[in-house]
Amino acid sequence: MSGATPKIRLRGLRKAFGAKQVLDGVDLDVPSGTSMVVIGGSGSGKSVLIKCILGLIEPDEGTIEIDGRDVMRLPRTERTALRAEIGMLFQNGALFDSLPVWENVAFGLMARRNVARGAARTHAEGVLAQVGLAASVGGLWPAELSGGMQKRVGLARAIAAQPAILFFDEPTTGLDPIMGAVIDGLIVDCVKRLGSTAVAITHDMASARRIGDAAAMLHGGRIVWSGPAARLMDSGNPLVDQFTHGRREGPIQMALRG
Amino acid sequence: MNALLDGLAALGRGAFAACRFAGALTLFALAGVSHLLRPPFHLRAFLRAFVEFAYFSLPVVALTAVFTGMVLALQSSTGLSRFSAESAMPNLVVLSITRELGPVLAGLMVAGRVGAAMAAEIGTMRVTDQIDALTTLSTNPMKYLVAPRLLAGLLALPLLVLVADILGVLGGFIIATVSLGFNRAIYLENTFNYMTTQDVVSGLTKAAVFGFVIALLGCYHGYRSRGGAQGVGAATTSAVVGASILILAFDYVLTELFFAR
Ligand SMILES: Nc1ncnc2c1ncn2[C@@H]1O[C@H](COP(=O)(O)OP(=O)(O)O)[C@@H](O)[C@H]1O
Ligand SMILES: [Mg+2]
């Protein structure tokens, strides 16, 4: 396992917004076929990290390799082709509210291939079924859906093109615990079915243990711990321990004061 | 001395900011236009933007034009009667409307309606990550969001102004014949005898430029908005104010180009 090229390899990733150093040398390997959860406090730069890997934010320094290829050095056409291999579930869904649900789900398909709208809708309804939504939902508008349904539609849109890599940004935030468990279940099912490599961001510990094989903690702009997701609750790392157990006292608070 | 230097420094900063804005806006416009020339083309997005721009602005533009024509007839009749030149009134109305008031007033009204809506829609898409989502779905947001709107603005405003020209003249005609006692046939004859193609074409050219400017400012400020609902609100305001000022500035420049020789 150790010799294989990781699906995603980050080295020395740095990104600052103005004077604020959000990422300060992130090193991370995500082996192929692994579901990695990244935990970390609000505002610790988890979303920025994912957006860097997606190419939505240009990092100041560092390398991002996917399948061993340096993404930022790739020519534009190959970068675009690589994008088609990545699905993303955004933190707040980011559904296109000017398009009906089915067009949201089929959007990537219609953008990449010249698919007739009828066929695209049929395909979208098939994907909606995979996330437990009836075909009739396809005709609704995003604003007509509950939060849980919006997450499902966002998930459907992310998996529609059967991507090799999936990103989930706080998939259960804002949902009740039961709906959160349902969405986690769907995520695990989808990732298994597609055989994808997944990176999920969360600060919901129950969710982290349900989704993840491996886990890493982002703090102070760096990965301060990584290991099996099963070890999250007894990692032996004081930063992780404080975070996963939700303690008020500990090194993280001291870091905030300092 | 210090106050003078401070003043100069502020002036310099202002000029610098203005240049930077003009540069960024120009680059944005070029990027948008370049996507109009390269496939794939988003026909549906264009049609939606066009209908939003043209069809839904019709009532506002039509009302503005009719009332402007009516007021123009009233004002010019009282003014011209001092020189016993009432017969010049039809000509004055049609020239003012086609050359100047049609495009400018329609442009300003549409800037308030469509420019604001574009900035709000694209701004909301920005702050809710929908623009990032487009990118992850293999769609260039400049091509999908901006280019179709620029083209819609370029084509839709001339159409609207054509309608405004007709309705503006009609407004003048109604006031002249109903309350000022003009003969209908003579009024119409005077209107069309003195109107040249250049009057109408210059007005429609202005309209095309104004339409492009409205869409450009709406897209630009929306695209660059930051920071939630407040950021979107600020983008909307900037889009309307910026487009209005640019419309008036371009109106002057284009009038120079067309009529001053
Ligand atoms: N586009 C941006 N411009 C400026 N600051 C940003 C931008 N995106 C994120 N930030 C800042 O980076 C920090 C990390 O944000 P984020 O990655 O969204 O946190 P989280 O870990 O909660 O997902 C925040 O302080 C945020 O203000
Ligand atoms: Mg986040």
Question: What is the reported pTM?
Answer: 0.91
Helix, strand or coil, per DSSP, at residue A202: strand
- The residue ranges of every structural domain in chain B are 2-259
H or E element in which residue A29 lies: strand A20-30
List strands edge to edge, sheet with A8-17: A20-30, A8-17, A61-66, A69-70
Which residue has the CA at smallest separation from atom 1 of ligand 1? A17
Pairwise CA distance, residues B34 & A153, whole Å: 33
Mean pLDDT over A178-204 rounds to 91
**Mean model confidence pLDDT for chain A:** 90
Nearest CA to ligand 1 atom 7: A17
Minimal Cα distance from A82: which residue of B?
B138
Best of A47, A56, A243 for a ligand 1 pocket test (most atoms within 8 Å of beta carbon): A47
Q: Is the pLDDT of residue A2 over 80?
A: no
Best mutation target, B44, B121, B122, B138, to test chain A (most A CBs within 10 A): B138
Give B60's pLDDT tier (boundaries 50, 70, 90). very high
Query: What ipTM was predicted for this assembly?
Result: 0.91
Q: Summarize pLDDT for B188-237 with one digit per residue, the tens.
A: 998 988 888 999 999 999 999 999 999 999 999 999 999 889 999 999 99
pLDDT classification of A203: cutoffs 50, 70, 90: confident
Q: Is A103 helix (H, G, I), strand (E, B) or coil?
A: helix
Percentage of residues of chain B with pLDDT beyond 90: 79
Q: Name the helix (H) or strand (E) containing B167.
A: helix B147-178
The stretch A150-167 carries a mean pLDDT of 93
* Residues on chain A touching B45 (C-beta within 8 angstroms): none
pLDDT band at A255 (very low <50, low <70, confident <90, very high): low
A79 contact residues in B (CB cutoff 8 A)? none
**CB of B138 less than 8 A from some CB of A:** yes
A54 contact B CB<8A: yes
Most informative mutation of A14, A22, A50, A57 for ligand 1 (most atoms within 8 A of CB): A22
CB contact under 8 Å between B138 and A80, yes or no, is yes
User: Residues 6 or more apart from A95 whose CB is under 8 A from it?
Assistant: A101, A104, A142, A150, A153, A154, A157, B130, B133
Convert B48-82 to b/e letters by CB count within 10 Å (16 or more is b): ebbebbbeebeebbbebbbebbbebbbebbeeeee
- Structural domains present in chain A: 1-85+197-258 (3.40.50.300)
